[in-house]
Structure 1
Amino acid sequence: MSRATITRSALALAVLLTATACAGPGDDEQATVVVTTNILGDITENIVGDQAQVSVLMAPNSDPHSFGISAQQAAAMERAGLLVYNGLGLEEGVLRNVEAAAEAGVATVEVGAAVDPIDYTSDESEGQPDPHFWTDPARVAEAVDLIADQVIDNVPGVDESTIRDNADRYRGEVEDLDATMADRFAEIPEQHRRLVTNHHVFGYLAERYDFEVIGAVIPSGTTLASPSASDLESLANTIGEAGVPAIFADSSQSDRLAQVLAEQAGIDVAVVSLYSESLSAEGGGAASYLEMMRANSDSIADGLLGQD
Protein backbone atom coordinates (compact mmCIF):
# COMPACT_ATOMS: atom_id res chain seq x y z
CA MET A 1 0.00 0.00 0.00
CA SER A 2 1.40 3.43 -0.95
CA ARG A 3 2.03 6.22 1.49
CA ALA A 4 -0.68 8.32 -0.25
CA THR A 5 -3.23 5.51 0.20
CA ILE A 6 -2.36 5.18 3.88
CA THR A 7 -2.71 8.94 4.33
CA ARG A 8 -6.14 8.99 2.64
CA SER A 9 -7.30 6.05 4.79
CA ALA A 10 -6.16 7.74 7.98
CA LEU A 11 -7.93 10.95 6.96
CA ALA A 12 -11.17 9.08 6.21
CA LEU A 13 -11.03 7.36 9.61
CA ALA A 14 -10.47 10.67 11.35
CA VAL A 15 -13.49 12.20 9.59
CA LEU A 16 -15.64 9.19 10.57
CA LEU A 17 -14.58 9.36 14.23
CA THR A 18 -15.25 13.11 14.31
CA ALA A 19 -18.72 12.67 12.80
CA THR A 20 -19.54 9.94 15.32
CA ALA A 21 -18.38 12.05 18.28
CA CYS A 22 -20.45 15.01 17.11
CA ALA A 23 -23.67 13.11 16.47
CA GLY A 24 -26.66 15.18 17.48
CA PRO A 25 -30.45 14.79 17.63
CA GLY A 26 -31.65 12.31 15.06
CA ASP A 27 -28.56 10.10 15.44
CA ASP A 28 -27.78 7.28 17.89
CA GLU A 29 -27.60 9.85 20.71
CA GLN A 30 -31.38 10.21 20.51
CA ALA A 31 -31.88 6.64 21.74
CA THR A 32 -31.23 7.93 25.28
CA VAL A 33 -34.08 8.35 27.78
CA VAL A 34 -33.24 11.05 30.33
CA VAL A 35 -35.15 11.03 33.65
CA THR A 36 -35.02 13.79 36.25
CA THR A 37 -35.73 12.07 39.61
CA ASN A 38 -34.31 8.77 40.80
CA ILE A 39 -37.76 7.40 41.72
CA LEU A 40 -39.02 7.91 38.18
CA GLY A 41 -35.63 6.72 36.96
CA ASP A 42 -36.06 3.32 38.62
CA ILE A 43 -39.60 2.98 37.25
CA THR A 44 -38.43 3.92 33.75
CA GLU A 45 -35.46 1.53 33.85
CA ASN A 46 -37.82 -1.34 34.67
CA ILE A 47 -39.92 -0.46 31.64
CA VAL A 48 -37.09 0.16 29.17
CA GLY A 49 -34.85 -2.73 30.22
CA ASP A 50 -32.09 -3.25 27.67
CA GLN A 51 -33.94 -1.50 24.85
CA ALA A 52 -32.32 1.93 25.32
CA GLN A 53 -29.96 3.81 27.58
CA VAL A 54 -31.64 5.44 30.60
CA SER A 55 -29.81 8.36 32.20
CA VAL A 56 -31.03 9.47 35.67
CA LEU A 57 -30.07 13.01 36.71
CA MET A 58 -30.83 12.96 40.45
CA ALA A 59 -28.31 11.13 42.65
CA PRO A 60 -29.40 8.83 45.50
CA ASN A 61 -30.31 10.51 48.81
CA SER A 62 -30.97 13.87 47.14
CA ASP A 63 -33.76 16.38 47.58
CA PRO A 64 -35.84 16.62 44.36
CA HIS A 65 -36.85 20.19 45.20
CA SER A 66 -33.29 21.51 45.24
CA PHE A 67 -30.94 19.21 43.31
CA GLY A 68 -29.03 20.74 40.41
CA ILE A 69 -27.32 19.37 37.32
CA SER A 70 -24.06 19.91 35.47
CA ALA A 71 -23.66 21.61 32.10
CA GLN A 72 -22.95 18.19 30.60
CA GLN A 73 -26.21 16.80 31.98
CA ALA A 74 -28.12 19.83 30.70
CA ALA A 75 -26.68 19.24 27.23
CA ALA A 76 -27.67 15.55 27.43
CA MET A 77 -31.25 16.60 28.18
CA GLU A 78 -31.35 18.56 24.92
CA ARG A 79 -30.05 15.56 22.93
CA ALA A 80 -32.39 12.98 24.46
CA GLY A 81 -34.94 10.97 22.54
CA LEU A 82 -37.31 11.30 25.50
CA LEU A 83 -37.24 13.35 28.70
CA VAL A 84 -39.28 11.95 31.60
CA TYR A 85 -39.91 14.33 34.48
CA ASN A 86 -42.20 14.47 37.50
CA GLY A 87 -43.43 18.02 37.02
CA LEU A 88 -46.11 19.87 39.03
CA GLY A 89 -43.29 22.05 40.35
CA LEU A 90 -41.26 19.27 41.99
CA GLU A 91 -37.87 19.64 40.26
CA GLU A 92 -37.46 23.32 41.04
CA GLY A 93 -33.72 23.31 40.36
CA VAL A 94 -33.93 21.88 36.84
CA LEU A 95 -37.24 23.23 35.52
CA ARG A 96 -35.52 25.73 33.23
CA ASN A 97 -33.46 22.87 31.74
CA VAL A 98 -36.63 20.88 31.11
CA GLU A 99 -38.12 23.90 29.34
CA ALA A 100 -34.95 24.36 27.27
CA ALA A 101 -35.05 20.70 26.19
CA ALA A 102 -38.68 21.03 25.14
CA GLU A 103 -37.85 24.19 23.16
CA ALA A 104 -35.04 22.24 21.45
CA GLY A 105 -37.60 19.74 20.19
CA VAL A 106 -37.08 16.94 22.71
CA ALA A 107 -40.16 14.84 23.45
CA THR A 108 -41.06 15.38 27.11
CA VAL A 109 -43.59 13.76 29.42
CA GLU A 110 -44.74 15.38 32.68
CA VAL A 111 -45.79 12.25 34.53
CA GLY A 112 -47.36 13.86 37.59
CA ALA A 113 -49.75 15.94 35.52
CA ALA A 114 -51.07 12.84 33.72
CA VAL A 115 -52.06 10.68 36.70
CA ASP A 116 -55.03 12.63 38.11
CA PRO A 117 -53.09 14.93 40.48
CA ILE A 118 -54.64 16.25 43.67
CA ASP A 119 -54.18 19.67 45.27
CA TYR A 120 -52.72 20.50 48.63
CA THR A 121 -55.51 21.21 51.10
CA SER A 122 -53.78 23.22 53.81
CA ASP A 123 -50.99 25.63 54.81
CA GLU A 124 -48.81 27.61 52.39
CA SER A 125 -49.39 25.36 49.36
CA GLU A 126 -53.18 25.09 49.63
CA GLY A 127 -54.82 24.91 46.21
CA GLN A 128 -51.59 24.14 44.36
CA PRO A 129 -51.05 20.75 42.67
CA ASP A 130 -49.27 18.15 44.81
CA PRO A 131 -46.39 16.53 42.86
CA HIS A 132 -45.81 13.58 45.24
CA PHE A 133 -48.01 11.10 43.35
CA TRP A 134 -45.61 8.15 43.81
CA THR A 135 -46.79 7.62 47.39
CA ASP A 136 -49.91 6.10 45.79
CA PRO A 137 -48.97 2.87 43.95
CA ALA A 138 -52.23 2.95 41.97
CA ARG A 139 -51.12 6.16 40.31
CA VAL A 140 -47.66 4.69 39.71
CA ALA A 141 -49.35 1.79 37.89
CA GLU A 142 -50.97 4.40 35.61
CA ALA A 143 -47.58 6.06 35.14
CA VAL A 144 -46.06 2.75 34.00
CA ASP A 145 -48.42 2.57 31.03
CA LEU A 146 -47.90 6.25 30.24
CA ILE A 147 -44.11 5.97 30.19
CA ALA A 148 -44.23 2.78 28.11
CA ASP A 149 -46.37 4.55 25.49
CA GLN A 150 -43.97 7.50 25.37
CA VAL A 151 -40.91 5.28 25.01
CA ILE A 152 -42.49 3.36 22.13
CA ASP A 153 -43.59 6.56 20.37
CA ASN A 154 -40.38 8.57 20.79
CA VAL A 155 -37.31 6.35 21.21
CA PRO A 156 -35.98 4.92 17.93
CA GLY A 157 -35.08 1.26 17.74
CA VAL A 158 -36.96 -0.10 20.76
CA ASP A 159 -39.00 -3.27 20.39
CA GLU A 160 -42.62 -2.51 21.22
CA SER A 161 -43.50 -6.01 22.41
CA THR A 162 -40.53 -6.06 24.79
CA ILE A 163 -41.48 -2.68 26.24
CA ARG A 164 -45.08 -3.84 26.68
CA ASP A 165 -43.96 -7.08 28.36
CA ASN A 166 -41.65 -5.14 30.71
CA ALA A 167 -44.44 -2.70 31.56
CA ASP A 168 -46.96 -5.49 32.21
CA ARG A 169 -44.54 -7.31 34.50
CA TYR A 170 -43.59 -4.21 36.46
CA ARG A 171 -47.17 -2.94 36.74
CA GLY A 172 -48.05 -6.31 38.29
CA GLU A 173 -45.30 -5.81 40.88
CA VAL A 174 -46.63 -2.33 41.68
CA GLU A 175 -50.16 -3.72 42.08
CA ASP A 176 -48.79 -6.36 44.47
CA LEU A 177 -47.10 -3.56 46.40
CA ASP A 178 -50.43 -1.76 46.69
CA ALA A 179 -52.04 -4.86 48.20
CA THR A 180 -49.13 -5.37 50.60
CA MET A 181 -49.32 -1.77 51.81
CA ALA A 182 -53.09 -2.02 52.31
CA ASP A 183 -52.63 -5.16 54.42
CA ARG A 184 -49.89 -3.54 56.51
CA PHE A 185 -51.91 -0.39 57.16
CA ALA A 186 -54.97 -2.43 58.05
CA GLU A 187 -53.14 -3.28 61.29
CA ILE A 188 -53.42 0.38 62.38
CA PRO A 189 -56.68 1.30 64.15
CA GLU A 190 -58.59 4.10 62.45
CA GLN A 191 -58.08 6.52 65.37
CA HIS A 192 -54.28 6.12 65.03
CA ARG A 193 -54.11 6.84 61.31
CA ARG A 194 -52.83 10.39 61.76
CA LEU A 195 -49.67 11.62 60.06
CA VAL A 196 -47.25 14.40 60.91
CA THR A 197 -44.46 14.72 58.35
CA ASN A 198 -41.42 16.85 57.58
CA HIS A 199 -43.36 18.68 54.85
CA HIS A 200 -46.54 17.90 52.93
CA VAL A 201 -45.48 14.78 51.04
CA PHE A 202 -48.03 12.05 51.85
CA GLY A 203 -51.31 13.48 50.59
CA TYR A 204 -51.69 10.74 47.97
CA LEU A 205 -50.87 7.98 50.44
CA ALA A 206 -53.38 9.44 52.90
CA GLU A 207 -56.10 9.51 50.24
CA ARG A 208 -55.32 5.95 49.08
CA TYR A 209 -55.15 4.28 52.50
CA ASP A 210 -57.47 6.44 54.61
CA PHE A 211 -55.02 8.44 56.73
CA GLU A 212 -55.46 11.95 58.09
CA VAL A 213 -52.55 14.37 57.67
CA ILE A 214 -52.81 16.63 60.70
CA GLY A 215 -49.75 18.75 59.98
CA ALA A 216 -46.22 19.19 58.69
CA VAL A 217 -43.09 20.58 60.32
CA ILE A 218 -42.53 22.71 57.21
CA PRO A 219 -46.08 23.88 56.36
CA SER A 220 -45.51 23.63 52.62
CA GLY A 221 -45.20 21.16 49.75
CA THR A 222 -41.53 22.04 49.27
CA THR A 223 -38.50 21.64 51.51
CA LEU A 224 -37.29 25.08 50.38
CA ALA A 225 -39.82 26.79 52.66
CA SER A 226 -39.23 27.45 56.38
CA PRO A 227 -41.55 27.21 59.40
CA SER A 228 -41.98 30.12 61.79
CA ALA A 229 -41.82 29.77 65.57
CA SER A 230 -45.61 30.14 65.69
CA ASP A 231 -45.98 27.38 63.07
CA LEU A 232 -43.98 24.98 65.24
CA GLU A 233 -45.84 25.98 68.41
CA SER A 234 -49.22 25.46 66.75
CA LEU A 235 -48.25 22.06 65.39
CA ALA A 236 -46.78 21.01 68.73
CA ASN A 237 -50.11 21.80 70.38
CA THR A 238 -51.95 19.80 67.70
CA ILE A 239 -49.66 16.81 68.22
CA GLY A 240 -50.14 16.97 71.98
CA GLU A 241 -53.92 17.12 71.68
CA ALA A 242 -54.09 14.31 69.11
CA GLY A 243 -51.65 12.06 70.98
CA VAL A 244 -49.67 11.30 67.81
CA PRO A 245 -46.86 8.85 68.69
CA ALA A 246 -44.50 9.62 65.79
CA ILE A 247 -43.30 12.39 63.48
CA PHE A 248 -42.04 11.22 60.09
CA ALA A 249 -38.98 12.97 58.66
CA ASP A 250 -37.46 12.52 55.21
CA SER A 251 -34.21 10.59 55.00
CA SER A 252 -32.68 13.14 52.60
CA GLN A 253 -33.30 16.03 55.04
CA SER A 254 -32.02 16.94 58.49
CA ASP A 255 -34.48 15.91 61.22
CA ARG A 256 -33.42 18.80 63.47
CA LEU A 257 -36.74 20.65 63.17
CA ALA A 258 -38.68 17.45 63.76
CA GLN A 259 -36.64 16.82 66.91
CA VAL A 260 -37.30 20.37 68.12
CA LEU A 261 -41.00 19.89 67.44
CA ALA A 262 -41.03 16.61 69.36
CA GLU A 263 -39.48 18.38 72.36
CA GLN A 264 -42.01 21.24 72.13
CA ALA A 265 -44.93 18.80 72.03
CA GLY A 266 -44.10 17.87 75.60
CA ILE A 267 -44.98 14.22 75.12
CA ASP A 268 -43.10 11.10 74.13
CA VAL A 269 -43.01 11.41 70.33
CA ALA A 270 -40.65 9.36 68.18
CA VAL A 271 -38.98 10.88 65.10
CA VAL A 272 -39.03 8.21 62.38
CA SER A 273 -37.04 8.50 59.16
CA LEU A 274 -38.75 7.68 55.84
CA TYR A 275 -37.44 7.49 52.27
CA SER A 276 -40.22 9.73 51.04
CA GLU A 277 -38.66 11.70 48.16
CA SER A 278 -35.49 9.91 47.11
CA LEU A 279 -34.14 6.42 46.67
CA SER A 280 -31.06 5.41 48.63
CA ALA A 281 -27.83 4.01 47.25
CA GLU A 282 -27.58 0.22 46.85
CA GLY A 283 -27.69 -1.42 50.27
CA GLY A 284 -29.18 1.69 51.87
CA GLY A 285 -32.65 0.23 52.41
CA ALA A 286 -34.48 1.93 49.54
CA ALA A 287 -32.52 1.33 46.36
CA SER A 288 -35.68 0.82 44.28
CA TYR A 289 -39.20 2.23 44.30
CA LEU A 290 -40.67 -1.08 45.49
CA GLU A 291 -38.11 -1.42 48.29
CA MET A 292 -38.62 2.20 49.33
CA MET A 293 -42.39 1.89 49.63
CA ARG A 294 -42.26 -1.40 51.53
CA ALA A 295 -39.77 0.11 53.98
CA ASN A 296 -41.94 3.21 54.44
CA SER A 297 -45.06 1.12 55.02
CA ASP A 298 -43.34 -0.80 57.79
CA SER A 299 -41.92 2.36 59.35
CA ILE A 300 -45.27 4.16 59.30
CA ALA A 301 -47.14 1.18 60.74
CA ASP A 302 -44.55 0.53 63.44
CA GLY A 303 -44.34 4.23 64.34
CA LEU A 304 -48.09 4.71 64.68
CA LEU A 305 -48.46 1.45 66.59
CA GLY A 306 -45.81 2.64 69.04
CA GLN A 307 -43.28 -0.05 68.14
CA ASP A 308 -40.46 2.33 67.19
Structure 2
Amino acid sequence: MFRWGLTIPLTGLPLGEHRDLLAGLSDLGYTDAWSAETNGTDAFTPLALASQWAPSLRLGPAIVPVYTRGPALLAQHAATLADLAPGRFVLGIGASSDTIVERWNGIPFDEPYKRTRDTLRFLRKALAGEKVKEDFETFSVKGFKLETAPATPPPIVLAALRPGMLRLAAREADGAISNWLAPHDVRTVRAELGDAPELMARLFVCPTDDAGEARAIGRRLIAAYMTVPVYRAFHTWLGRGEVLRPMNEAWAAGDRKKALEVIPDEVVDDLIVHGSPAACRDRVREYVAAGLTTPVLAVVPGGGLSPSEAVRALAPSAG
Protein backbone atom coordinates (compact mmCIF):
# COMPACT_ATOMS: atom_id res chain seq x y z
CA MET A 1 0.00 0.00 0.00
CA PHE A 2 1.24 3.49 -0.87
CA ARG A 3 1.72 5.54 2.31
CA TRP A 4 2.33 9.24 2.89
CA GLY A 5 2.44 10.35 6.52
CA LEU A 6 2.38 13.63 8.38
CA THR A 7 3.89 14.60 11.72
CA ILE A 8 1.36 16.08 14.15
CA PRO A 9 0.88 18.53 15.68
CA LEU A 10 2.14 21.01 13.12
CA THR A 11 4.58 23.70 14.21
CA GLY A 12 2.77 27.00 14.49
CA LEU A 13 -0.75 25.54 14.72
CA PRO A 14 -2.18 24.97 18.21
CA LEU A 15 -3.26 21.40 18.83
CA GLY A 16 -6.88 22.37 19.43
CA GLU A 17 -7.03 23.93 15.95
CA HIS A 18 -6.08 20.75 14.08
CA ARG A 19 -9.58 19.31 13.67
CA ASP A 20 -10.35 20.60 10.17
CA LEU A 21 -6.83 19.91 8.91
CA LEU A 22 -6.82 16.32 10.17
CA ALA A 23 -10.32 15.65 8.90
CA GLY A 24 -9.21 16.56 5.38
CA LEU A 25 -5.90 14.68 5.23
CA SER A 26 -7.29 11.53 3.63
CA ASP A 27 -8.80 13.52 0.79
CA LEU A 28 -5.34 15.00 0.15
CA GLY A 29 -3.77 11.55 -0.09
CA TYR A 30 -2.24 11.31 3.36
CA THR A 31 -2.57 7.88 4.97
CA ASP A 32 -0.86 8.31 8.35
CA ALA A 33 -0.47 10.78 11.21
CA TRP A 34 2.48 10.27 13.54
CA SER A 35 3.21 12.18 16.72
CA ALA A 36 6.51 12.62 18.53
CA GLU A 37 7.62 13.23 22.09
CA THR A 38 10.51 15.59 22.74
CA ASN A 39 9.81 18.87 24.52
CA GLY A 40 6.42 19.77 23.01
CA THR A 41 3.18 17.82 23.25
CA ASP A 42 3.19 14.33 24.66
CA ALA A 43 2.96 11.54 22.10
CA PHE A 44 -0.51 10.21 22.91
CA THR A 45 -2.85 13.21 23.28
CA PRO A 46 -2.59 14.33 19.60
CA LEU A 47 -3.31 10.76 18.52
CA ALA A 48 -6.34 10.50 20.78
CA LEU A 49 -7.78 13.61 19.13
CA ALA A 50 -6.84 12.41 15.65
CA SER A 51 -8.54 9.07 16.27
CA GLN A 52 -11.86 10.94 16.45
CA TRP A 53 -11.19 13.74 13.99
CA ALA A 54 -9.70 11.58 11.21
CA PRO A 55 -11.31 8.13 11.40
CA SER A 56 -9.50 6.69 8.36
CA LEU A 57 -5.88 7.57 9.17
CA ARG A 58 -3.37 5.13 10.58
CA LEU A 59 -1.93 6.61 13.78
CA GLY A 60 1.21 6.12 15.79
CA PRO A 61 3.84 7.75 18.00
CA ALA A 62 7.33 7.99 16.54
CA ILE A 63 8.43 7.49 19.16
CA VAL A 64 7.60 7.00 22.83
CA PRO A 65 10.72 6.55 25.01
CA VAL A 66 10.85 3.24 26.85
CA TYR A 67 12.28 4.91 29.96
CA THR A 68 9.93 7.80 30.73
CA ARG A 69 6.87 5.67 31.47
CA GLY A 70 6.80 2.46 33.44
CA PRO A 71 6.11 -0.64 31.34
CA ALA A 72 2.57 -1.05 32.68
CA LEU A 73 1.64 2.58 32.05
CA LEU A 74 3.02 2.34 28.53
CA ALA A 75 0.83 -0.70 27.94
CA GLN A 76 -2.20 1.23 29.24
CA HIS A 77 -1.54 4.12 26.88
CA ALA A 78 -1.17 1.75 23.95
CA ALA A 79 -4.33 -0.18 24.85
CA THR A 80 -6.30 3.06 25.10
CA LEU A 81 -5.24 4.23 21.64
CA ALA A 82 -5.85 0.78 20.20
CA ASP A 83 -9.39 1.01 21.55
CA LEU A 84 -9.92 4.50 20.15
CA ALA A 85 -8.55 3.55 16.73
CA PRO A 86 -9.12 -0.19 16.35
CA GLY A 87 -6.92 -1.64 13.64
CA ARG A 88 -5.42 1.79 12.91
CA PHE A 89 -2.94 2.23 15.76
CA VAL A 90 0.75 1.32 15.62
CA LEU A 91 2.91 1.68 18.73
CA GLY A 92 6.32 3.18 18.07
CA ILE A 93 8.80 2.82 20.92
CA GLY A 94 12.51 3.41 21.28
CA ALA A 95 15.38 4.27 23.55
CA SER A 96 15.19 7.99 22.73
CA SER A 97 18.34 9.87 23.82
CA ASP A 98 20.33 10.68 26.93
CA THR A 99 19.21 14.31 26.57
CA ILE A 100 15.52 13.48 26.92
CA VAL A 101 15.82 10.56 29.32
CA GLU A 102 18.65 11.61 31.61
CA ARG A 103 19.08 15.38 31.34
CA TRP A 104 15.39 16.28 31.16
CA ASN A 105 13.76 13.48 33.12
CA GLY A 106 16.45 12.49 35.60
CA ILE A 107 16.35 8.81 34.61
CA PRO A 108 19.61 6.93 34.00
CA PHE A 109 20.07 6.16 30.31
CA ASP A 110 21.45 2.69 30.98
CA GLU A 111 21.48 -0.28 28.60
CA PRO A 112 19.27 1.30 25.89
CA TYR A 113 19.32 -1.77 23.65
CA LYS A 114 18.34 -4.12 26.46
CA ARG A 115 15.71 -1.77 27.85
CA THR A 116 14.08 -1.45 24.43
CA ARG A 117 14.20 -5.20 23.87
CA ASP A 118 12.71 -5.95 27.29
CA THR A 119 9.96 -3.37 26.86
CA LEU A 120 9.06 -4.80 23.47
CA ARG A 121 8.82 -8.32 24.93
CA PHE A 122 6.73 -7.13 27.87
CA LEU A 123 4.35 -5.20 25.62
CA ARG A 124 3.81 -8.17 23.35
CA LYS A 125 2.54 -10.16 26.32
CA ALA A 126 0.61 -7.37 28.04
CA LEU A 127 -1.19 -6.19 24.89
CA ALA A 128 -2.14 -9.79 24.12
CA GLY A 129 -4.01 -9.84 27.44
CA GLU A 130 -1.53 -11.99 29.35
CA LYS A 131 -0.81 -11.55 33.04
CA VAL A 132 2.86 -10.67 33.18
CA LYS A 133 4.98 -11.80 36.09
CA GLU A 134 8.55 -11.82 34.89
CA ASP A 135 12.05 -10.63 35.70
CA PHE A 136 13.36 -9.04 32.55
CA GLU A 137 17.03 -8.09 32.41
CA THR A 138 16.39 -4.35 32.93
CA PHE A 139 13.18 -4.37 35.01
CA SER A 140 10.73 -6.70 36.73
CA VAL A 141 6.96 -6.84 36.43
CA LYS A 142 5.06 -8.59 39.19
CA GLY A 143 1.61 -9.63 38.08
CA PHE A 144 0.37 -6.89 35.73
CA LYS A 145 -2.64 -7.56 33.52
CA LEU A 146 -4.58 -5.05 31.45
CA GLU A 147 -8.17 -4.68 32.59
CA THR A 148 -9.25 -4.72 28.95
CA ALA A 149 -6.73 -5.84 26.38
CA PRO A 150 -7.15 -4.67 22.79
CA ALA A 151 -9.27 -6.97 20.65
CA THR A 152 -6.46 -6.78 18.11
CA PRO A 153 -3.06 -6.06 19.66
CA PRO A 154 -1.40 -3.17 17.83
CA PRO A 155 1.76 -3.68 15.79
CA ILE A 156 4.92 -2.49 17.55
CA VAL A 157 7.71 -0.77 15.65
CA LEU A 158 11.13 0.18 17.00
CA ALA A 159 13.18 3.32 16.62
CA ALA A 160 16.36 1.88 15.15
CA LEU A 161 19.39 3.86 14.06
CA ARG A 162 22.19 1.30 13.92
CA PRO A 163 22.70 -2.39 13.13
CA GLY A 164 21.92 -3.89 16.55
CA MET A 165 18.54 -2.21 16.92
CA LEU A 166 17.68 -2.68 13.26
CA ARG A 167 18.29 -6.41 13.60
CA LEU A 168 16.18 -6.52 16.76
CA ALA A 169 13.38 -4.77 14.87
CA ALA A 170 13.66 -7.33 12.08
CA ARG A 171 13.60 -10.29 14.49
CA GLU A 172 10.99 -9.27 17.06
CA ALA A 173 9.09 -6.14 16.03
CA ASP A 174 6.75 -5.27 13.17
CA GLY A 175 8.99 -2.69 11.57
CA ALA A 176 11.51 0.06 12.21
CA ILE A 177 11.46 3.83 12.48
CA SER A 178 14.45 5.88 11.38
CA ASN A 179 15.22 9.58 11.18
CA TRP A 180 17.63 12.02 9.56
CA LEU A 181 18.29 10.06 6.38
CA ALA A 182 19.18 10.90 2.80
CA PRO A 183 17.63 8.66 0.15
CA HIS A 184 20.89 6.75 -0.35
CA ASP A 185 21.05 6.11 3.42
CA VAL A 186 17.83 4.11 3.16
CA ARG A 187 19.74 1.38 1.34
CA THR A 188 22.29 1.22 4.17
CA VAL A 189 19.48 0.82 6.69
CA ARG A 190 17.71 -1.77 4.57
CA ALA A 191 20.91 -3.84 4.38
CA GLU A 192 20.58 -4.43 8.15
CA LEU A 193 16.78 -4.50 8.46
CA GLY A 194 16.06 -6.63 5.41
CA ASP A 195 13.56 -6.03 2.66
CA ALA A 196 10.41 -7.35 4.32
CA PRO A 197 9.79 -5.24 7.46
CA GLU A 198 8.07 -1.89 7.20
CA LEU A 199 10.52 1.01 7.37
CA MET A 200 9.28 4.47 8.17
CA ALA A 201 11.24 7.68 8.61
CA ARG A 202 10.49 11.24 9.61
CA LEU A 203 11.63 13.60 6.86
CA PHE A 204 12.10 17.29 7.61
CA VAL A 205 10.52 19.18 4.72
CA CYS A 206 10.86 22.93 4.12
CA PRO A 207 8.85 23.97 1.04
CA THR A 208 10.70 27.07 -0.13
CA ASP A 209 12.59 28.02 -3.28
CA ASP A 210 14.94 30.11 -1.14
CA ALA A 211 17.82 27.69 -0.58
CA GLY A 212 19.46 30.12 1.84
CA GLU A 213 16.36 30.18 4.03
CA ALA A 214 16.05 26.39 3.97
CA ARG A 215 19.73 25.84 4.74
CA ALA A 216 19.68 28.28 7.66
CA ILE A 217 16.71 26.42 9.15
CA GLY A 218 18.33 23.08 8.35
CA ARG A 219 21.62 23.98 10.04
CA ARG A 220 19.83 24.79 13.28
CA LEU A 221 17.98 21.48 13.19
CA ILE A 222 21.06 19.47 12.29
CA ALA A 223 23.15 21.02 15.06
CA ALA A 224 20.41 20.38 17.61
CA TYR A 225 20.18 16.69 16.68
CA MET A 226 23.59 15.60 15.39
CA THR A 227 25.44 16.75 18.51
CA VAL A 228 23.39 14.31 20.61
CA PRO A 229 25.47 11.13 21.11
CA VAL A 230 22.96 8.69 19.60
CA TYR A 231 22.66 10.72 16.40
CA ARG A 232 26.39 11.43 16.26
CA ALA A 233 27.00 7.67 16.39
CA PHE A 234 24.30 7.07 13.77
CA HIS A 235 25.87 9.44 11.28
CA THR A 236 29.33 8.11 11.96
CA TRP A 237 27.95 4.71 10.96
CA LEU A 238 26.36 6.25 7.84
CA GLY A 239 29.74 7.73 6.90
CA ARG A 240 29.29 11.39 7.90
CA GLY A 241 31.56 11.29 10.94
CA GLU A 242 34.41 13.27 9.40
CA VAL A 243 32.30 15.85 7.60
CA LEU A 244 30.39 16.55 10.84
CA ARG A 245 33.49 16.54 13.04
CA PRO A 246 34.05 20.35 12.85
CA MET A 247 30.46 20.95 13.93
CA ASN A 248 30.77 18.57 16.87
CA GLU A 249 34.10 20.04 17.96
CA ALA A 250 32.77 23.61 17.83
CA TRP A 251 29.62 22.58 19.70
CA ALA A 252 31.65 20.82 22.41
CA ALA A 253 33.78 23.96 22.78
CA GLY A 254 30.64 26.04 23.34
CA ASP A 255 30.90 27.93 20.03
CA ARG A 256 27.35 27.50 18.74
CA LYS A 257 27.76 30.08 15.98
CA LYS A 258 30.77 28.32 14.50
CA ALA A 259 29.05 24.94 14.85
CA LEU A 260 26.30 26.15 12.52
CA GLU A 261 28.70 27.78 10.07
CA VAL A 262 30.82 24.69 9.49
CA ILE A 263 27.95 22.40 8.49
CA PRO A 264 28.45 21.97 4.73
CA ASP A 265 25.65 22.82 2.31
CA GLU A 266 25.76 19.30 0.90
CA VAL A 267 24.96 17.81 4.31
CA VAL A 268 21.97 20.12 4.70
CA ASP A 269 20.80 19.30 1.19
CA ASP A 270 21.19 15.59 1.94
CA LEU A 271 19.15 15.64 5.13
CA ILE A 272 16.59 18.44 4.68
CA VAL A 273 14.01 18.18 1.91
CA HIS A 274 13.63 21.66 0.43
CA GLY A 275 12.68 23.46 -2.75
CA SER A 276 9.32 24.09 -4.36
CA PRO A 277 6.47 21.89 -3.11
CA ALA A 278 6.72 19.89 -6.34
CA ALA A 279 10.47 19.42 -5.88
CA CYS A 280 9.87 18.34 -2.29
CA ARG A 281 7.30 15.75 -3.34
CA ASP A 282 9.72 14.40 -5.92
CA ARG A 283 12.46 14.17 -3.30
CA VAL A 284 10.18 12.28 -0.92
CA ARG A 285 9.46 9.81 -3.72
CA GLU A 286 13.22 9.24 -4.05
CA TYR A 287 13.16 7.89 -0.49
CA VAL A 288 10.33 5.54 -1.38
CA ALA A 289 12.17 4.34 -4.47
CA ALA A 290 15.20 3.60 -2.27
CA GLY A 291 13.16 1.35 0.03
CA LEU A 292 11.35 3.59 2.51
CA THR A 293 7.87 2.19 3.12
CA THR A 294 6.34 5.14 4.94
CA PRO A 295 7.66 8.68 4.63
CA VAL A 296 6.44 10.84 7.50
CA LEU A 297 6.71 14.51 6.64
CA ALA A 298 7.70 16.94 9.38
CA VAL A 299 6.72 20.27 7.89
CA VAL A 300 9.21 23.04 8.67
CA PRO A 301 7.74 26.53 8.13
CA GLY A 302 9.25 28.27 5.13
CA GLY A 303 8.46 29.96 1.85
CA GLY A 304 5.78 32.14 3.39
CA LEU A 305 3.32 29.25 3.60
CA SER A 306 1.17 28.73 6.66
CA PRO A 307 1.30 25.23 8.18
CA SER A 308 -2.02 24.29 6.61
CA GLU A 309 -1.00 25.65 3.21
CA ALA A 310 2.25 23.70 3.35
CA VAL A 311 0.42 20.46 4.17
CA ARG A 312 -1.87 20.93 1.17
CA ALA A 313 1.02 21.86 -1.13
CA LEU A 314 3.04 18.80 -0.10
CA ALA A 315 0.16 16.34 -0.38
CA PRO A 316 0.55 13.52 -2.90
CA SER A 317 -2.71 14.60 -4.51
CA ALA A 318 -1.09 17.94 -5.40
CA GLY A 319 0.99 16.33 -8.12
Higher relative contact order (CA 8 A, sep 6+): 2
- With structure 1 as the length reference, what TM-score do the two structures score? 0.31
Compare the two structures and name the one with the higher strand fraction.
Answer: 2
- With structure 2 as the length reference, what TM-score do the two structures score? 0.30
* The structure with more radius of gyration: 1
